[in-house]
Amino acid sequence: MARILVTDGMAAEGLAILKQGGHTVESRKLTPDELVKCIGEYDGLVIRSATQVTAAVVKAGAPKLKVVGRAGVGVDNVEVPAATSAGLIVMNAPLGNIISAAEHTIGMIFASARHIPQAHAKLTKGEWDKKSFVGVELHGKTLGIIGLGKIGKHVAEVMQAAGMEIVAFDPFLSPEVAKELRIESVDLDTLLRRADVITVHTPLTPQTRNLINADRLKMVKKGVRIINVARGGIADEAAVIEAVKAGHIIAAFDVFGEEPLPAGSPFYGLPNTIITPHLGASTEEAQVKVSVDIANQFNAFFSSGKIINAVNVQLRVDPAIDGYLLAAEHLGAALAQTLDSPLKGIEVIASGDLAKYDIKPLAVAALKGALSKISDQVVNFVTVAQIAKERGIGMTSSARDVGTGPSLTVKAITADGERIIAGGLVGSQLRVLQYNEYPIDLPIGGHLLIMEYPDRPGMVGKYGSLLGENKINIARMEVSRIDGRGDALVLLTLDDPVPGPVFDQIVATVKPNKAYRISI
């Protein structure tokens, strides 16, 4: 069988599973140079966060090395593009820490409600102080969950048992799934105003960065508990600190924008605050689970070629339409970032020559692109169908025998209607040819700004000046009108993303009917 190298340690249970699979397993601590020298002798490599799988390691491992497995979620220490180019499969174990992260969140909720760490710290100094630590009961209170993936759902289930009412904000939570979970689906502003405790469980994206900011903190109840065991950067830490100092909120944070927290961080010594050093996945069980998961995935791969939780696996599609796979994913990702209501389904429609082929893989790619922008789970071609099923999102594909118009159309079906984006490939370049009813013709990629506003003279100058003042360069621009009157649609591709404050300034100046920031 296979020869497998383990460089960052692995739970005994995982090692046993690999050996039961008939593999030769070697655990070694290696320097980067030592790893490059010996990696070509192995079929598989199991790592955690310490080992850096660089392009040099990938090159040295070829052609014998077939798979790299990260016993955990993140693969930031793997040069995935280099691995993909070399045909090296990169797997991770995305589900092993779900319960641990959820339980840490739940612990933070209870600890903040009863001031447990602060009371403990004072009592260890010999001070018996009951009056300073009067807490609140959670029973009967409202818990607001931002992002209802697997972690958020487990938190909801446990806190429902504790007697809390659950409201959730997740743009892609269907009403049917919410009803089944006995959760009220609300918009973000409503959640902020109603919740007694707020916890976030979203990925960190341009849309979620500083999601909890100074303006939104003005909406919350005085004394609300805000919990973040998700990602540093989702909350504007400076705004949170000021709100804590003002006595408006209580914070419990496990993750931070800069880790480890630097010396002199204002979080140190901050009253009414609980801070922990990114412990969400730090349980014995989670460490065992990720090791067992990656070991089972290795066994499946080496025994039958089955690929599980590979972050860089492409679907097998007809070579004639292979270029459209990434195009469909980009169109789905762009469209998802312009939705204002829960997604119920994704439909991909092919026309012209593209309609001759099996386009179901393109629908999967479009759905993957959409979910990757809003899910707190790892979305890849292995997990996308299950994630969509859990969220109650359907997927269909169809073909039209039409020789003109966009080759590929992605339609999002939402609770409020439908929204579409369509395009085609010119050479290897994806060009967007339609957004809703507006005809356009513009390459898509990188950072985009889309606005729909009443057409009147001087508008281009207004937002162009604001972007220029903030040193954001416009790479390409397309303005579209339907009948020469009424509304106009502008789509800008930019060299850099639009920061939240700049976006807010543009919206306040232009007063568009709709505006979206998009990153591909």
Number of other CB atoms surrounding residue 253 within 10 Å: 23
Residues 6 or more apart whose Cβ sits within 8 Å of residue 211: 146, 188, 200, 202, 234, 235
Q: Name residue, tokens 């979305």.
A: 379
Q: Say how far apart CA 115 and CA 113 lie, in whole Å.
A: 6
Residue 231 a catalytic site member: yes
The three-class DSSP label of residue 410 is: strand
Of the residues 231, 419, 447, 517, only one is catalytic, namely 231
Residue 437 a catalytic site member: no
Strands (E), 61-172: 67-70, 89-92, 142-146, 165-169
Q: Say how far apart CA 178 and CA 167 lie, in whole Å.
A: 9
Of the residues 259, 418, 437, 469, only one is catalytic, namely 259
**DSSP letter (8 states) at residue 313:** P
**DSSP letter (8 states) at residue 204:** -
Indicate the residue type of 314: Q
Q: Say how far apart CA 128 and CA 309 lie, in whole Å.
A: 52
Structure tokens at 409: 């159309």
Query: What is the Rg, in whole angstroms, of the alpha carbon atoms belonging to the chain?
Result: 25
Please, are residues 431 and 492 in contact by the beta-carbon 8 Å criterion?
A: no
Distances (CA, A) of 19 to 15, 16, 178, 292, 388: 6, 5, 43, 12, 35
The three-class DSSP label of residue 215 is: helix
Residues 6 or more apart whose Cβ sits within 8 Å of residue 483: none
Of the residues 114, 209, 278, 431, only one is catalytic, namely 278
**What would the DSSP string read from start to end of 144-174?**
EEE--SHHHHHHHHHHHHTT-EEEEE-TT--
**What would the DSSP string read from start to end of 12-45?**
HHHHHHHHHTT-EEEE----HHHHHHHGGG-SEE
For CA atoms 300, 306, 308, 312, the dihedral sign is positive
Residues 6 or more apart whose Cβ sits within 8 Å of residue 46: 4, 5, 6, 7, 8, 10, 14, 68, 69, 71, 294, 295, 298
Distances (CA, A) of 24 to 93, 101, 277, 297, 392: 21, 33, 36, 16, 43
Number of other CB atoms surrounding residue 384 within 10 Å: 24
Please, are residues 421 and 331 in contact by the beta-carbon 8 Å criterion?
A: yes
Residue 278 a catalytic site member: yes
Q: Say how far apart CA 225 and CA 108 lie, in whole Å.
A: 10
Name which of 186, 178, 175, 174 is nearest 153 in CA terms: 178
Which residues form the catalytic set?
Answer: 231, 259, 278
